Structure 1
Amino acid sequence: MSSRPTFGTIKRVVAVLIAITVVLAAGIVVGQAPAIFGVEEDSEATIAFEDQQTDGTNVTIDEVSLSDGGFVVITDGGNEPIAASEYLDRGTHQNVTIERSEGDPELVGQLTATVHQDTDDDETYTYEETDGEEDLPYLEGGYPVSDTATVTATGNEAVSDSFTVESVDAPATATTDQTIEVDAEIRNPTDFDQQQNIEVRIGGSVIERQVLELGGGDSSEVTFEVDTTGTSPGTRILGVYTEDHGELQEIELEFHTDPSVTVVDASEDEVTVDVATPESGFVAVEDDEEVLGTSGELEAGEHDNVTVEFDENATVDEDDELTVVVYGGDPADVEAASPIEHEGESVEETFTVADVRAEADAEDGADENGESGEGDGEG
């Protein structure tokens, strides 16, 4: 394990030194220093969006808390929002009403409310119009902070002819390489035969889907074999959904192995590693001063033979001490990424190209000797 500072550590140290200079120049008392240094928790949010009946023109968010202010955005499963709240100041807000704009779809059905930040500080929601550059969602465990509700039209027993989910039975815990059984009781509330899709989602992503046919008024138990591979660990929402209805429960997913990274090949141009990461991120190769190259984005899970090509301006000698580090975040925004830790230590490995080559040559020699030995023993 290397003890040298990563590029993220160096950047934070420089920022602290600059802040200290500002404090001393302004003559501010020491007790105020933490606020100036930016010593605060990452942006956080929570939201509660309960099932409700409306006239289709608005919905009510029961409670939303935002550490830095922002917006609540309503979607119906598509990529585009169908309504967004006015700007909300930091703090907790109750009974927030969100109205649809004229010409937009009615606010009925299976809707999702997601909490977004106001990253450009203009108090105007611009996530879509900036192609996701501004007003990003608040995140928890790498996933947007959101809640899903079934919204039905006032005076109607159902907003559509959708099947209903009467109950869901799934394990409370699982690992991220496991196939679990999810049982759901599905009912057709109408008087006529229908065929509809039934979906299982974890963390908002569709994991399994079946087509179910039911006669009018009939019910049936549906069983799904759900593979959790690639799902990020942590407390996740597992839901079974029909066209306009769903039932949810929490599932605690534990990463199935220890986070790790191992160098399997190296040259002056690139490094190949095997990596196990509990969240989406990437692998970076660094020396004492800079990042020499990064992999593409990796989903949570185990990955073999991940290649990290060095930047075209990087110069690497075979005896240079390098470190490969696993990061959580986007390889397109390295400065904002954070090293993934296991038992309080960064997941990394220090190596030289010469050492990796020597080890590979030794293994090749052992294989050749082993084959020769078998040949000598014959006859």
Structure 2
Amino acid sequence: MSSRLTFGTLKRIVAILIAIAIVLAAGIVVGQAPAIFGVEEDPEASITFEDKQGNGTTVTIQEVSLSDGGYIVLTDGGDEPLAVSEHLEAGTHENVTIEREDDATRELVGQLTATVHRDTGDDSFAYYETDGEEDQPYLEDGFPVSDTATVTTTDENALGDSFAVESIDAPATATTNETIQVNATIRNPTEFQTQQSITVRIDGTVFEQRVLELEGGESRTVTFETDTSGAPPGNRTIGVYTDGDGAVTEIDLEFHTDPSVTVDDATTENVTVATAIPEQGFVAIEHNGSVVSTSGQLEPGEHENVTVDLSENASINESDELMATLYAGSPDDVDSASPIEFEDEPVQTTFTIGDVADTESGNESDANDSAAESANE
């Protein structure tokens, strides 16, 4: 009897070991699924581009990583690139030097943006030649992977006729709806009286622009009253820029109110909301855990009368429970967007079209009663 029990126990142990082996093998197969079945993972990249002094002809990128290889493209907000790096193999690269073309007229100074592009062709950069069909930028949360820096120079030849920004002074902290004073000392390096456009930018976006006139060789400290409304909260770069020069400092911007989204009106055709959104994003209408429609792109700040059109294919009834949720990212790439959180909770509100309609009807009735009472008085 003891022998039969021992044999049965051995059989169970063997069966368990076989089961464990099968599970482990399955786990290995699942973990290697992309490689085994030819499924490609999303390409990834990162870049670090810091403020520095340059000579106007070259720029150095501190570090860039590219999962699929590609290029770094330098721009200054214009329609054409200022310079493109040589082809970079997949992996991490440090101190990448980018040279401007010999026939280029624009010096590599001022505020520059370095964007990481994939190589989808034949080791030659063709993004602009193909109207964006080839060598598209790497994306993170729906936005191109890039970094912005200010390249200054002490070389008067590199500056050319551009005014020089010798210093900048701005508050270390502010909210996203106040007017701050930004002081900058600006010098005309030429011998002639000249007028030039001066801009104040926060993270690359123009928040103020002014035409300044200086005598030849004159330096002047100028104060800009800059409204921060629309700037994204967080630790940001604020700078003063001329045609070919600039100076920057950091500012910590706090969103001026709590993030929120409220439903003002709703029908089976569209939903109207008011929102305070702390970063670039959109409002999504969700049903049964899925996004059925989105608003257009919203800039950071407070927005009234944001309309979200509901698709006819959504088949939403007045009694269906819906949710209006704030997302960071692009409405054109919902899968890469992420819900905006406040106090560790998503910023969202639950509603039904019927409840909103009843509330609106009640408000109109109350307003009519108040008007009638006022008339009787």
Check the 8 A contact 2:142/2:336 in 1, yes or no: no
Q: 2:48 aligns with which of 46, 49, 66?
A: 46
Deviations 1:197-222 (A, max 9, x none): 21111111221111111112222121
Is the alpha carbon distance of 1:103 and 1:237 closer, same or farther for their aligned partners in structure 2, counting shifts above 3 Å? same
Equivalent AA in structure 1 for residue 183 of structure 2: D
Tell me: CA distance 1:67–1:175, structure 2 relative to 1, closer, same or farther (3 Å): farther
| Structure exhibiting the larger radius of gyration computed from Cα positions | 2
CA contact (8 A) 1:326 1:348 kept: yes
Instruction: Show structure 2 runs of 5+ residues with no match.
Output: 1-21
- The one-letter amino acid of 1:149's match is V
Is residue 59–residue 108 contact of structure 2 (8 Å, CA) maintained in 1?
no
| TM-score, normalization by structure 1 | 0.80
Gapped regions of structure 1 (runs ≥ 5): 1-21
Confirm or deny: 8 A CA contact 2:110 2:244 kept in the other structure.
Answer: yes
1:61 equivalent in alignment to 2:60:
yes
Task: Quote how far apart the aligned CAs of 1:160 are.
Answer: 0.7
The separation in 1 between residues aligned to 2:125 and 2:259, in whole angstroms, is 37
Deviations 1:116-152 (A, max 9, x none): 1427597654443454465325669968312221357
The CA deviation at 1:267 is 0.9
Aligned pair in 2 of structure 1 residues 270, 204: CA closer, same or farther (>3 Å)?
same
Q: CA RMSD in A?
A: 3.4
Task: Measure the CA separation in 1 of the matches of 2:203 and 2:210.
Answer: 19
Q: Which residue of 1 aligns with 2:163?
A: 163
Once residues 131 and 142 of structure 1 are traced to their aligned partners in structure 2, the CA distance between those partners, rounded to angstroms, is: 18
Shift of 1:248: 0.8
Q: Where does 1:5-84 land on structure 2 (aligned, <5 Å)? A: 26-28=26-28, 43-48=45-50, 50-53=52-55, 56=57, 59-61=58-60, 63-66=62-65, 68=67, 70-84=70-84
**Map 1:112-131 → 2, pairs under 5 A:** 112-118=112-118, 120=120, 125-129=125-129, 131=131
Distance apart, 1:277 and its partner CA:
0.9
Shift of 1:263: 0.6
Deviation at 1:308, TM superposition (A): 0.9
Partner SS for 1:161? coil
Q: Hey, what's the Cα distance between the residues in 2 that align with 1:25 and 1:38?
A: 22
TM-aligned CA deviation for residue 29 of structure 1: 9.2
Quote the residue 1:189 is aligned against: 189
Residues matched between the structures, number: 350
- Following superposition, the deviation at residue 75 of structure 1 comes to 2.2
Alpha-carbon offset, residue 158 of structure 1? 4.7
1:94-105 pair list within 5 angstroms? 94-101=94-101, 103-105=103-105
Q: Secondary structure at the match of 1:145?
A: strand
Counterparts in 2 of 1:343 and 1:125: CA distance versus 1, 3 Å: farther
Higher mean C-alpha displacement, 99-108 vs 262-271: 99-108
**Contact 1:292/1:311 (<8 A) preserved:** yes
The residue matched to 1:44 in structure 2 has which SS?
strand
Between the aligned partners of 1:208 and 1:312, the Cα distance in structure 2 is 43
Q: Indicate the residue corresponding to 1:346 in structure 2.
A: 346
Asked whether the 8 Å contact 2:43–2:138 carries over to 1, the reply is: no
Counterpart position of 2:297: 297
Amino acid at match of 1:66: S
* Aligned-partner SS, 2:369: helix
Rounded to whole Å, the distance in 2 between the matches of 1:178 and 1:209 is: 17
Contact 1:45 1:138 in 2 (8 A): no
Q: 3-state SS of the aligned residue for 1:335? A: helix
1:150 aligns with 2:149: no
Report the residue type matching 1:63 in the other structure: Q
Question: Cα distance, 1:318 vs. partner?
Answer: 0.9
**Matching of residues 296-335 of structure 1 within 5 Å:** 296-335=296-335
Equivalent residues of 1:164, 1:245 under 8 A apart: yes
Alpha-carbon distance in structure 2 between the residues aligned to 1:175 and 1:121: 45
Which deviates the most, 129-138 or 179-188?
A: 129-138
Alpha-carbon distance in structure 2 between the residues aligned to 1:41 and 1:120: 11
* Alpha-carbon contact 1:177-1:227 (below 8 Å) kept: yes
Is 233-242 or 156-165 further displaced after alignment?
Answer: 156-165
Could you tell me which residue of structure 1 aligns to residue 198 of structure 2?
Answer: 198
Cα distance in 2 for residues equivalent to 1:119 and 1:232: 31
1:89-139, CA deviations, whole angstroms, 9 ceiling, x for partnerless residues? 466533322233454445444361413142759765444345446532566
Secondary structure of the residue aligned to 2:297 is: coil
Percent of matched pairs sharing the same residue: 48
Partner Cα separation in structure 1 for residue 76 and residue 211 of structure 2 = 21
Q: Could you say what secondary structure the match of 1:308 adopts?
A: strand
CA 1:253–1:43 in 2, change beyond 3 Å: closer, same or farther?
farther
